[in-house]
A and B are shown apart, each in its own frame.
Chain A
Amino acid sequence: MFDAIVIGSGMSGGIAAKELCERGLKTLVLERGRKLEHGGSYTDWMQPWDLPNANLVPEEALARDYQIQGQCYAFNESTLQYWVKDSEHPYSFPEDKPFAWIRGYHLGGRSIMWGRQSYRLSEMDFEANAKDGHGSDWPIRYADLAPWYDHVERFIGVSGSPEGLKQLPDGDFLPPFALNDAEVQFKQAVEASFPGRRVIPGRVANLSQAKPHHEELGRTSCQNRSLCERGCSYGAYHSSLSSSLPAAERTGNLTIITDAIVHSIIYDPRTRKATGVRVIDANTKEGRTYEAKVIFGCASAIATSQILLNSKSEAQPNGLANSSDMVGRNLMDHIYALSVMGILPKGPNTYYHGRRPTGLYIPRYRNVSEPADFLRGYGFQGAVSRMGWRNGALSQPGVGAELKARTRKLGPWMVFISGFGEMLPNPDNRVTLHPTRTDKWGVPIVHIECALGDNETKMAAQIIEDGAAMIKSAGGKVMMTRGTPGTPGLGIHEMGTACMGKDPKRSVLNKYNQAHDVANLFITDGSAMASSGCQNPSLTYMALSARAAHHAAEFLREGKI
């Protein structure tokens, strides 16, 4: 019998485990994937000449096993060990509504490969559903989460610049990774041409300057290698392996079990509480159960829906915590991959040194300082950088000594910006259990139906128009645009499928991330999000996880759950 079970060891589960353990709770973390060792399992040591197959994944394996994962930007031979085989972990979607579910099943989950961009939601984001009527009104506002953002930022270490923007609140930052000269030039042009728009250094969970509490966990400052997705032996970015699980472990209260696939949560109708979880051993396929006083769902949005829907019982026939019928609904991702690229012919005659782990960010301005013919808005991520050797060598014909000579020349400045747009919560974008298909462990696979709507389509067109206009404002020449949104899921920000809300009839979780229907069940992964904002969401998942862990521990102490 444990005090707490945390399902999932990724971004949310790592923080939930740390916070529960630090409050004295004997905590079991269940991870469906295999164990990874911080440092020892990583591939960041590989020099370019060590990369197997020039970092290309063998074509037949790619087509056979990685049809979906192969679409992810960070997928290559050096990161191959971190992606699931789609052939082993199937799910389904309608042919005309593809959804790319990008996954990593191992200790630490996607916190190993995440993009590390870390932005707070703002008051505007927490009010959005109430104001325009889409989705469930958040039961919390910015002030409720602000101290938990502080708490998490301090612990994980976020590098960024204070900017005083109401739509993107400042945090407790380490020094920013400064903009390079061409980015400063781009910033000046954009901010002069478009009052209200700002170009700022990307806020990122990499330690620009490790503090003593980071070093205590064995983490050191970022070496500017930009090999993050391979795992960082320096522990310079926050992940469950480098940061939250070691912090949980040092309390003496943590137990981790890997290769443990959660089949369902056990519910006792007499006490109206969850009593534990049913687990299938990933290797032997044997079933067993674990019991605890409180359960945290941190398996990621789609997987948590799968577990809840698969936990149906006589007392909860629609799936656990699903009297509202909202479990699995309102699936959101960010509108992704809408990009504009251009050359800045009059860039500065300078270069930079090092490969910083972030770039620039343009916070939302639509429906903030500028109107729009759609609801909500988007931000841009990007960078201005010198086009690299590859372009020098290959962008024009010619072989021999001439090719070598031109590859030695510094490339022109290239600006690349890509929009991340807010998707409206829509109950028809939905995760259900497949009526007949099961995986090799006998668990019903998920069926995902998710499509962009009119609001998203209008937003996508404006993203491209604005991106091109900003590049032109800096004297840039647009070379390439990608105006078709990426397949939903490729933003890897899936969320919303067990939304928080004030009304138990229209939402799954209350203001403490506690299930309306099951008092000792807390869900703190992306499922909980009542709206998506346009900001990268991991920081919010972590803040919600820490806050919920605090309340769960209080409720236990007070005998309320």
Chain B
Amino acid sequence: MTDGLGLDRRALLRRVLLLAGAAVLPGGAEALAAAAAQTEQRLLEAPRYTLLTAVADTIVPKTDTVGAVEVGVPQQIDALLRNWAAPGTRTALIAALDAIDASARGSKGRGFAALTPNERHEVLTAHDAAALKPPAPGQAASPLAKAPTVADPKTGKLKQGAAQGVTYMGPPVTDPTYAKLKELIVVLYYYSEPALTQELPYEHSPGQWNPSVPVTPETRPFGGAAFI
């Protein structure tokens, strides 16, 4: 994408899709059903897309404010799998989703999306805690622990890609692929206009720099695209 107009169009389209997504996806079971029904231009087939929707809804649920599903995170994750992820990353992230489903079948005997919200929270809390533990000594690196590997278009030789600006400055974990999936869901949620209206304050143009503002019980961190 090299011209401002192209970016403009794409972003406008994204915004329209996001608004459409927000309109047709209320929380809970209805959201899951609606999500499963929308299949056009999607990478993930219906069962996995429903699983993704259930996972996003469990990581950032609707509370007194909107959740990840209401702001269109599942659609955006699907789009990232199509437009951002290299094949290896795509496969790894899908496997991370499937692993959550396997956790649910192991402990509850049913797929993750078939569980009640409380059961989903219980299963994912345990899965999350295990995945984000420090790695065991000598543990093999996950495909996402390093920059993506891709084929050089000229030689066909596999090369390691350049390191991209990290999106999560955290300690090493047992399952970096799950950590990445969670991070993408969380970041897309907090980048959304509803989250930046209801959850965190965001001003695109703050105007003034005020170096000292008293903290009150209502003070929340500013949202936005900063890394740390």
A interface residues with partner B (beta carbon < 8 Å): 40-43, 46-60, 62-64, 66-71, 73, 75-76, 80-81, 177-181, 183, 208, 222-226, 349-356, 385-401, 403-404, 407-411, 414, 416
Contact = CB atoms under 8 A, between A and B. Distances in A.
B80 A53 contact: yes
Given A68-B162, A223-B207, A350 B196 contact: no
B4 A181 contact: no
B199 A398 contact: no
A123 to B, nearest CB: 32
Given A70-B161, A350-B213, A352-B213, A52 B150 contact: no
Contact of B125 (A49, A225, A400): A400
18 contacts: A49-B192, A55-B225, A56-B167, A59-B85, A66-B162, A67-B162, A71-B163, A81-B2, A180-B211, A181-B211, A224-B208, A352-B211, A353-B209, A354-B210, A391-B228, A400-B59, A400-B61, A403-B186
A50 B193 CA distance: 9
B60 to A, nearest CB: 7
A288 B213 CA distance: 60
B128 A224 contact: no
A353 B221 contact: no
Interface in B170-228: 170, 179, 182-184, 186-188, 190-193, 196, 199-200, 202, 204-215, 219-228
Contact of B162 (A41, A42, A70, A410): A70
A388 B226 contact: yes
A40 B148 contact: no
Given A56-B164, A391-B169, A354 B207 contact: yes
Contacts of A177: 209, 211
A351 B190 contact: no
Contact of B219 (A69, A398, A410): A410
Contacts of B162: 62-63, 66-71
Interface residues of B, number: 84
B140 interface: no
Contacts of A407: 190, 199-200, 221
Contact of A50 (B11, B164, B224): B11
Interface in B97-152: 121, 124-125, 128-129, 132, 147-150, 152
Contact of A56 (B11, B60, B84, B228): B84
A161 to B, nearest CB: 13
B192 A397 contact: no
B209 A81 contact: no
B170 A53 contact: no
Contacts of B228: 385, 387-388, 390-391, 414, 416
A43 B4 contact: yes
B53 interface: no
B3 interface: yes
A353 B89 contact: no
B7 interface: yes
Nearest to B86: A59
B148 A62 contact: yes
Contacts of B179: 394
A30 B210 CA distance: 42
B213 to A, nearest CB: 5
Among A49, A62, A70, A388, the one with the most B-chain Cβ atoms within 10 Å of its Cβ is: A49
A177 B206 CA distance: 14
Nearest to B210: A353
Contacts of B10: 52
A46 B59 contact: no
A337 to B, nearest CB: 12
A-B pairs with lowest CB-CB distance, top 8: A63-B161, A70-B162, A59-B86, A354-B206, A48-B191, A354-B209, A353-B210, A63-B150
A477 B205 CA distance: 33
Nearest to A66: B162
Among A48, A178, A224, the one with the most B-chain Cβ atoms within 10 Å of its Cβ is: A48
Contact of A397 (B83, B128, B188): B128
B60 A352 contact: no
B211 A178 contact: yes
Among B165, B192, B223, the one with the most A-chain Cβ atoms within 10 Å of its Cβ is: B165
A394 B186 contact: yes
Contacts of B163: 70-71
A392 B11 CA distance: 28
Given A49-B193, A353-B209, A390-B228, 13 more contacts: A49-B192, A50-B15, A53-B79, A54-B167, A59-B86, A59-B148, A64-B150, A66-B162, A71-B162, A81-B2, A353-B213, A388-B228, A399-B125
Contacts of A70: 161-164
Nearest to B61: A400
B65 interface: yes
B36 to A, nearest CB: 22
Contacts of A52: 1, 7, 10-11, 14
A48 B214 contact: no
A57 B1 CA distance: 10
Contacts of A355: 206, 209, 222, 224, 226
Given A41-B4, A350-B215, A399 B208 contact: no
A561 B168 CA distance: 57
B206 A48 contact: no
B11 A180 contact: no
Contacts of B125: 398-400
A404 B63 contact: yes
Contacts of A42: 4
A351 B224 CA distance: 16
Nearest to A50: B11
B223 A48 contact: yes
A76 B3 CA distance: 15
Nearest to B224: A48
A22 to B, nearest CB: 30
B207 A400 contact: no
Given A58-B84, A386-B221, A352 B15 contact: no
Interface in B11-48: 11, 14-15, 18
A59 B179 CA distance: 18
A410 B25 CA distance: 31
A183 B209 CA distance: 14
Contact of B196 (A46, A49, A351, A404): A49
B19 to A, nearest CB: 10
A392 B221 contact: yes
